[in-house]
């Protein structure tokens, strides 16, 4: 390929071809960015017409009646996601601490590997897991089973970001703490974890954003409900489920509401992502 | 080798001869690295510090350490850094006194007394290093290990830390690692010279009173090093 | 003195116990995933055995379950996605890593990565109401006019179908391909580029003949990783693929995937065998995506090991 003779023969042609090549790469990058704008723009365009105070505060109306809202779905989603965060955070952060500070050799490598691989397991398979574990034995759907599925989905990201956050605290800081005669527990929780906190929170926010939009596992865990549902041991309304059901329904007014729900969901997820990136992504080295 | 109480002992030698490693074995801080092991015996007041009955945590409270680079805890204030090593059962009322005493001990009090709640990392390099010294003093150790405490400081900060070492020696037993001979000569009462042998393992070549080592070294290798004829 | 040391030692022991227990529990969860899915699909595994994988009748009415049409739909829609996203993503990654000016590269990267944040159900909604009509009225007829001699582009155009699902999937995996390829390309040492340029090559020629070949393994890993995502993607695909368990040569024809069958039929499954067959589809997805991801991770580890 790199052959001077060939290249010298056709200098002008090579320049043109190179320019076209570079142009093509730029075109593809713009195309990818445009895809986001196309989706985002259309969702906001359609959604803005559906979202109003009633949409945010009312329950769904029965089939055939127009109007109504997704208030129960929003509240239901907030509850399941919050529960999932409560389950996943201690488990994920502690596992991350294990990988960064204590785990060595094959054991740590295996945990890291499993965590990486788990992040690629389809959410629907994890939903089935939650079903066989928490729905089938109790013979009814529940918000808790959805939270467990969410928690499993959140774990890989929390583990990975916590490990990296803790690992990025300089070794000198850790030695400084131990040299004072601090116990391992105190040096970890009072010195190392506080120093790693912004990055850990970034990971948490991103993992929340990841599950907030999940729909597939909800189908057979939270199941959905047209009523007010605040008890996580029972079936619960969920915003993504409402969007899905409205979208594939034959009713014009439900399509409108699907767009409204989609706008709320996408804005929430984007705000979480951007907050994670810019607010908590603290300057790396404050020393 | 013995480290004399209430005196400064300097460990000197070219880099890679094991000064820092030796120092880190004295308070078992090397144990946090994987695959570290110790052969031989380290005693404090006649007690073997590697005895299974002695906890590394307890030992480190008695043998404080100051590192090559100042490492104040990034999320804590100046006062928070000083009290970081205190146990939680120390009442709040006592803490303010301890902070003042430790900071005075580290000759930092006058510079920071009005901004105790600012982050420790907001101080200059020399101040940060003295903050780390204050942090070590607050735990009231008997021995203070210093690993090239001035190597990342400017000359003026270095002078203030050296002055500090001299005054601290009245109360503490200090072991300082340095590859700077002038510094060893200035601050220490006793000196030890180490050199890594052909086998890559560090050996103690000579240990004596600093004045004697710099005037009449017994080992020719020490003389070579001191007079700069090395390598 | 001793008492205090003892209490520190006790709290340390407890803390370490928690840390190790968390890691162990995490491993247990992954193992439990496999065990529970296997247990749930036991009835179907026993009834159909390996036949499940290559018989093509999916008929709940007479309790016959063969996954072949679903595997076909999953493979074809994912392949369309990989081809499209691979092409666009690798070129975009090249641009971001080597050609884009600094002020442009960061916001552009961030925008593309945000594509990964958009929820699946939103893509489905958009695909159903924007992309599918476009394909029915414009893209499909145009393809049929130009490439209609290929069986791939024959037959009626419904709007929903394999092609629509493939395009939606392509958009969804694009950020994965782009971000990882960009990192891999950026990780190729600068001296490789300098060597190419010093031979008189233009920057484009250097990238094409020196940098991209050197980044081959990592980019391949990125594609595999993206494939794993495409295979398991559920809701968006369910909304735009047409949901019919048939094998057809045409990309315009409706189809069905492993994941979308589960999504559509699980809560309606009446018999135990039906339910068990659906869970077996989930087990199949789990095993396949586990293997795909394991492979991709091993490849990425070899690429980034030195860093």
Q: pLDDT band at B40, cuts 50/70/90?
A: confident
Q: Give chain A's mean pLDDT.
A: 91
A163 and A32 share a domain? no
Which residue of B lies nearest to C1 if distances are taken between CA atoms?
B58
Q: Measured between alpha carbons, how far is A184 from C5 in angstroms, rounded to an integer? A: 12
Query: pLDDT tens digits, residue range C272-306?
Result: 999 999 999 999 999 999 999 999 988 888 877 65
How do B43-44 and B47-48 pair as beta strands? antiparallel
A11 and A138 share a domain? no
Higher pLDDT among residues C109 and C195, named by residue: C109
**CATH (domain of A57):** 1.10.3720.10
Contact A268, A239 (CB under 8 A): no
Calculate mean pLDDT across residues B52-70: 85
Contact A87, A148 (CB under 8 A): yes
Q: Give chain C's mean pLDDT.
A: 92
Domain ranges across chain C: 2-40, 44-304
Chains that touch B (3 or more CB pairs under 8 A): A, C
Domain ranges across chain B: 8-72+142-226
Give contacts of B135 with chain A, Cβ < 8 Å. 176, 180
Asked if the Cβ–Cβ distance from B121 to A286 is below 8 Å, we say: yes
Range of A257's domain?
53-279
Query: pLDDT tens digits, residue range C2-14?
Result: 555 677 778 889 9
What stretches of B15-144 show up as alpha helix (H) in DSSP? 19-26, 56-62, 78-83, 92-105, 109-112, 125-138
B155 close to A (CB below 8 A): no
Asked if the Cβ–Cβ distance from C266 to A219 is below 8 Å, we say: yes
Query: pLDDT tens digits, residue range C249-274?
Result: 999 999 999 999 999 999 888 899 99
Task: Pick the range with the lowest mean pLDDT from A71-75, B217-221, C80-84, C210-214.
Answer: B217-221
Look at residue A47 and tell me if it is in a domain: no
A153 and A16 share a domain? no
pLDDT of residue A5: 55
Calculate mean pLDDT across residues B134-156: 88
B125 close to A (CB below 8 A): no
In chain B, pLDDT over 70 holds for what percent of residues? 97
pLDDT of residue A6: 54
A22 and A88 share a domain? no
C121 close to A (CB below 8 A): yes
Asked if the Cβ–Cβ distance from C225 to A159 is below 8 Å, we say: no
pLDDT of residue B155: 86
A30 and A59 share a domain? no
Asked if the Cβ–Cβ distance from A180 to B136 is below 8 Å, we say: yes
Contacts of B35 (CB under 8 A, 6+ apart): none
Asked if the Cβ–Cβ distance from B57 to C1 is below 8 Å, we say: no
A208 and A139 share a domain? yes
pLDDT of residue B230: 52
Query: pLDDT tens digits, residue range A2-55?
Result: 555 555 556 677 888 889 999 999 999 999 999 999 999 999 999 999 999 999
Tell me the CA distances in angstroms from C293 to A150, B115, B206, one per residue in order.
20, 53, 59
Look at residue A46 and tell me if it is in a domain: no
A8 and A64 share a domain? no
Instruction: Supply φ then ψ for residue A168, to 5 degrees.
Output: -80, -5
C47 close to A (CB below 8 A): no
Contacts of C32 (CB under 8 A, 6+ apart): A129, A133
Contacts of B116 (CB under 8 A, 6+ apart): B77, B78, B79, B99
**How far away is chain A from the Cα of C156, in angstroms, using its nearest Cα?**
22
Calculate mean pLDDT across residues B160-181: 88
Asked if the Cβ–Cβ distance from C91 to A15 is below 8 Å, we say: no
Task: Write the burial class of residue A284 (CB in 10 Å: 0-12 exposed, 13-18 middle, 19+ buried).
Answer: exposed
pLDDT of residue A97: 96
Q: Indicate the pTM of the whole model.
A: 0.89
Instruction: Supply φ then ψ for residue A152, to 5 degrees.
Output: -65, -40
A173 and A108 share a domain? yes
pLDDT of residue A245: 94
A31 and A66 share a domain? no
Q: For chain C, positions 12-31, list CB contacts with chain A under 8 A.
A: 12, 14-16, 18-23, 25-27, 29-30
Contact C202, A18 (CB under 8 A): yes
The domain C44-304: what is its CATH number?
1.10.3720.10
In chain A, pLDDT over 90 holds for what percent of residues? 77
Which among B75-79, B196-200, B211-215, C280-284 has the top mean pLDDT?
C280-284
Look at residue A285 and tell me if it is in a domain: no
Query: In this model, does residue B223 exceed pLDDT 80?
Result: yes
Has the ipTM of the complex gone over 0.85?
Answer: yes
CATH 3.40.190.10 fits B8-72+142-226, yes or no: no
Q: Which residues of C touch B (CB under 8 A)?
A: 1, 4-5, 8-9, 12
Higher pLDDT among residues A127 and B158, named by residue: A127
**How far away is chain B from the Cα of A108, in angstroms, using its nearest Cα?**
14
């Amino acid at each position: 390929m790199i052959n001077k003779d060939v290249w010298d023969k056709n200098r002008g042609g090579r320049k043109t071809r190179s320019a076209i090549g570079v142009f093509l790469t730029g075109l593809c990058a713009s195309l990818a960015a445009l895809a986001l704008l196309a989706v985002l723009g259309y969702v906001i365009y359609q959604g803005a017409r559906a979202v109003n105070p009633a949409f945010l505060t009312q329950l769904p109306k029965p089939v055939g009646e127009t109007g109504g809202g997704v208030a129960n779905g929003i509240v239901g989603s907030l509850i399941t996601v919050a529960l999932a965060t409560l389950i996943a955070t201690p488990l994920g952060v502690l596992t991350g601490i294990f990988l960064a500070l204590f785990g060595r050799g094959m054991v740590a490598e295996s945990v890291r590997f499993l965590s990486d691989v788990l992040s690629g397991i389809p959410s629907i398979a994890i939903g089935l897991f939650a079903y066989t574990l928490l729905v089938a034995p109790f013979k009814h759907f529940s918000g808790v089973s959805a939270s467990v599925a969410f928690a499993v989905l959140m774990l890989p990201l929390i583990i990975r970001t916590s490990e990296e956050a803790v690992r990025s605290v300089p070794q000198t800081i850790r030695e400084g703490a131990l040299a004072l005669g601090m116990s391992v527990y105190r040096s970890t929780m009072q010195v190392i974890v506080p120093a790693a906190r912004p990055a850990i929170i970034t990971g948490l926010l991103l993992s929340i954003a990841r599950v907030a939009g999940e729909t597939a596992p909800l189908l057979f865990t939270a199941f959905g409900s047209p009523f007010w549902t605040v008890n996580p041991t029972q079936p619960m309304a969920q915003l993504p489920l409402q969007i899905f059901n409205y979208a594939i329904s034959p009713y014009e007014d439900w399509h409108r509401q699907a767009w409204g729900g989609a706008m709320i969901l996408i804005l929430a997820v984007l705000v979480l992502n951007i907050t994670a990136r810019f607010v908590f992504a603290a300057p790396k080295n404050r020393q | 080798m013995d480290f004399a109480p209430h005196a400064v002992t300097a460990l000197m030698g070219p880099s890679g001869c094991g000064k820092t490693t030796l120092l880190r074995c004295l308070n078992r801080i090397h144990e946090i690295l994987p695959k570290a092991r110790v052969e031989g015996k380290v005693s404090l007041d006649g007690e073997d510090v590697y005895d299974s009955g002695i906890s590394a945590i307890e030992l480190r409270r008695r043998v404080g350490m100051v590192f090559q680079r100042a490492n104040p805890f990034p999320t804590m204030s100046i006062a928070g850094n000083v009290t970081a090593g205190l146990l939680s059962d120390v009442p709040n009322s006592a803490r303010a006194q301890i902070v003042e005493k430790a900071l005075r001990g580290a000759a930092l009090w006058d510079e920071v007394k009005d901004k105790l709640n600012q982050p420790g990392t907001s101080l200059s390099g020399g101040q940060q290093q003295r903050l780390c010294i204050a942090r070590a003093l607050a735990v009231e150790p008997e021995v203070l290990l210093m690993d090239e405490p001035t190597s990342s400081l400017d000359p003026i900060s270095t002078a203030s830390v050296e002055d500090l070492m001299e005054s601290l020696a009245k109360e503490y037993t200090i072991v300082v690692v340095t590859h700077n001979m002038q510094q060893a000569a200035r601050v220490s009462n006793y000196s030890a010279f180490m050199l890594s042998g052909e086998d890559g393992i560090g050996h103690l070549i000579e240990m004596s009173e600093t004045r004697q080592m710099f005037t009449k070294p017994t080992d020719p290798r020490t003389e070579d090093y001191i007079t700069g004829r090395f390598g | 003195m001793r008492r205090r040391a003892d209490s520190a030692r006790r709290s340390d022991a407890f803390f370490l116990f928690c840390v190790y227990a968390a890691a162990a529990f995490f491993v247990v969860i992954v193992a439990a995933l496999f065990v529970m899915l296997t247990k749930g699909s036991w009835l179907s595994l026993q009834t159909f055995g390996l036949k499940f994988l290559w018989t093509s009748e999916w008929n709940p009415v007479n309790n016959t379950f063969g996954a072949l049409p679903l595997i076909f739909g999953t493979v074809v829609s994912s392949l369309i996605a990989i081809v499209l996203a691979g092409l666009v993503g690798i070129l975009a990654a090249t641009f971001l890593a080597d050609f884009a000016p600094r002020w442009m590269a960061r916001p552009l990267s961030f925008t593309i990565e945000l594509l990964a944040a958009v929820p699946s159900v939103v893509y489905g909604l958009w695909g159903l109401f924007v992309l599918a009509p476009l394909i029915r009225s414009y893209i499909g007829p145009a393809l049929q006019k130009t490439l209609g001699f290929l069986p791939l582009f024959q037959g009626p155009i419904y709007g929903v179908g394999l092609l629509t699902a493939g395009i939606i999937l392509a958009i969804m995996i694009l950020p994965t391909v782009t971000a990882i390829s960009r990192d891999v390309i950026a990780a190729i040492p600068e001296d490789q580029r300098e060597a190419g340029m010093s031979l008189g090559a233009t920057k484009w020629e250097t990238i094409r003949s020196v940098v991209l070949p050197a980044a081959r393994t990592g980019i391949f890993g990125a594609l595999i990783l993206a494939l794993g995502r495409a295979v398991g993607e559920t809701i968006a695909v369910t909304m735009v693929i047409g949901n019919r368990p048939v094998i057809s040569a045409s990309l315009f024809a409706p189809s069905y995937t492993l994941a979308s069958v589960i999504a559509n039929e699980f809560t309606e499954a009446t018999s135990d065998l039906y339910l068990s067959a659906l869970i077996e589809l989930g087990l199949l997805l789990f095993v396949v995506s586990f293997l795909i991801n394991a492979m991709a991770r091993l490849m990425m580890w070899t690429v980034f090991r030195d860093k």
